[in-house]
Structure 1
Amino acid sequence: MMNTNGAYRPLNFNIKNAADDTAVIDIDGFIGRDIFEEWMTGKPSPNTVENLKNKLREITAKKVIVNINSPGGDLNDGLVIMEMLQSKSAEVVTNIQGFSASAATVIGQAGTTRRMSENAFMLIHRVMFGFCGYLNQNTMYDMIQDAEVIDTQLIKMYRKQSSLKEDEIADLMDEGGGYGRWITAEDALEFGFIDEIYDPADESDEDVDRLEGEDVENMKRNVRELAIQGMKGSEEFVNAFFGKELQSGKVTEKKSNKVKELQEEADSAGEARTRNLIIKQKLEV
């Protein structure tokens, strides 16, 4: 899906075929707000509850396949996303892929059918806090109490979904000094964290996203059409990129003509990028 608030960029929450019989949601990367990434890129974090909520409302499919490939992130976002998927009036299939940990495993429990690739790994751990600044013993004690409450609730959540007892789940979370340990798909199945192991190469598996080339071409075409609709005339384009210069009269006729030429070239390029980006890149060369 595309965020059209002035710039076109892909979301990590990629939802396709929302109105067909089956919809696919890809959850990749950090879950929740990644403040460091926002500081580095100047862009809002994509994998948040707010971003997914409205997208889920658009889905009318009878089955929703959720592909999860994430190291985890914000527990609050993970819990709310899990509950949103559970409340969806559709069959939900969760596919855990790659190295998925922490809040990603929480979302993985949302499936009507919980699955894991035979090549994937999963990790659960004790709750962790990220902080900066100065702490005193009272603050630290309060954090420990909060952590105990959260850990207890998480253990109950996993216990409800798995075949392990609460103390066994706690022991698994305690490994590695509370950072947990990576378990295989076979382990996850034995512990009851998933319902089945799948082979990504199994062509008869209807719950595997085949990443067909036609889907990719459709996506490229949609992006191209959005770009053309978004900037129809050279004057609008010039205003978007040179608004301040236009107001001050610093944009020369020669530069304006160059923009028009590049605009025409971008329209005929047939590339799966917005023509704004194509033109901007060439102007910077």
Structure 2
Amino acid sequence: MSLRKLPEIEAGRLPTVCAFEPDADALERWNAGLSPKAQGENTITILEVIGEDFWTGGGVTAKRVAAALRAIGSQDVIVEVNSPGGDFFEGVAIYNLLRAHPNKVTVRILGLAASAASVIAMAGDEIQIGKAGFLMVHNAWVIAMGNRHDLADAAATMEPFDDAMATLYADRAGVSKAKAAEWMDNETWFNGEQAVEVGLSTGFLPADAVTENKAKAEAMSGVNATRRIDARLAKTGMPRTERRALLADAKGGTHDAALTVKHDADAIAALVSGLFKS
């Protein structure tokens, strides 16, 4: 599929009473230690959450991808993806940047392309996925607070966005939009073989194209534990500022501290247990 035939996705920002959060299940399945074995000057890596990451100060933003594309110039681009997703609107912005690139874009799913990262993956002329990799699609979900008008505004903003995503997945896979919407409604996970079979990927990634940094995966495990708890608490309706203040308190007041010490993890677990019992 040529980039010139890919649709641009238009999506306005959500009302300020809303916020996107990464999917807790995707965070749990994400192996942050996976990366490309080799990369050239025309490579863009998407190996973190999508959007600015509160917990690490990192994250993949449209601004960063735009700068990388400017540096690459008129060359073919390889996009290495291993991400649990994150901010859907940031993912849409990155997708639109890649689809507008004048040369070939090859997306390589090293481990996981979930949620917003799966949107980005659809920008590839060629989409390769590891046989042990996963691609996940679902409806956009947000944490929304406010009065009935705020919530109505949030729903009105999300409806055409989900419709655009269904169209994108349907066009890529060659299925009806109703089928793609069913995938999204069911939060569907495709392994490598399934992604190729249904048409969301064009082929397999060579087995020797991926390397695993176990030290990095271990170092990130504590941060991901915090992210997962944050995502679970978000589904209870707790405001973002309150969630993150509580989690920072449980880690000694440092929001970007990693949960690598057992008593920190125990403190978080005790905190969450108490919240659900109250």
- TM-score higher than 0.5 here? yes
* Distance in 1 between residues matched to 2:158 and 2:96, nearest whole Å: 21
Equivalent residue, structure 2, for 1:144:
155
Matched, 1:56 2:63: no
Distance 1:164 1:76, change over 3 A: same
Matched, 1:70 2:89: no
* Distance in 1 between residues matched to 2:156 and 2:149, nearest whole Å: 11
Percent identity between matched residues is: 28
User: How big is each residue's C-alpha offset from its partner over 1:257-278, in whole Å with a ceiling of 9 and x where there is no partner?
Assistant: xxxxxxxxxxxxxxxxxxxxxx
How much has 1:125 moved relative to structure 2?
A: 0.5
Distance 1:119 1:61, change over 3 A: farther
Equivalent residue, structure 1, for 2:10:
none
Contact 2:78 2:105 in 1 (8 A): yes
User: How big is each residue's C-alpha offset from its partner over 1:81-125, in whole Å with a ceiling of 9 and x where there is no partner?
Assistant: 122122222221101121320111111111111111111011100
Contact 2:113 2:121 in 1 (8 A): no
Matched, 1:108 2:121: yes
Q: Superposition pairs for residues 71-220 of structure 1, below 5 Å?
A: 71-131=84-144, 134-175=145-186, 180-201=187-208, 208=209
Contact 2:129 2:204 in 1 (8 A): yes
TM-score normalised by the chain length of structure 2: 0.58
Letter of the 1:99 counterpart: L
Contact 1:121 1:182 in 2 (8 A): yes
Letter of the 1:90 counterpart: N
SS at match of 1:72: coil
Letter of the 2:160 counterpart: V
* Distance in 2 between residues matched to 1:130 and 1:32, nearest whole Å: 16
* Distance in 1 between residues matched to 2:140 and 2:198, nearest whole Å: 20
Distance 1:210 1:127, change over 3 A: closer
Equivalent residue, structure 1, for 2:28:
none
Point out which structure has higher relative CO (alpha carbons under 8 A, 6+ apart): 2
Contact 2:86 2:116 in 1 (8 A): yes
Structure 1 ranges of 4+ moved more than 6 A: none
* Distance in 2 between residues matched to 1:17 and 1:195, nearest whole Å: 22
* Distance in 1 between residues matched to 2:211 and 2:49, nearest whole Å: 24
Letter of the 1:184 counterpart: N
How much has 1:46 moved relative to structure 2?
A: 4.0
Equivalent residue, structure 1, for 2:50:
31
Q: Superposition pairs for residues 5-16 of structure 1, below 5 Å?
A: none
Distance 1:61 1:48, change over 3 A: same
SS at match of 1:155: helix
Equivalent residue, structure 2, for 1:260:
none
Contact 1:123 1:183 in 2 (8 A): yes
Letter of the 2:46 counterpart: I
Q: CA RMSD in A?
A: 2.4
* Distance in 1 between residues matched to 2:95 and 2:156, nearest whole Å: 25
Letter of the 2:81 counterpart: I
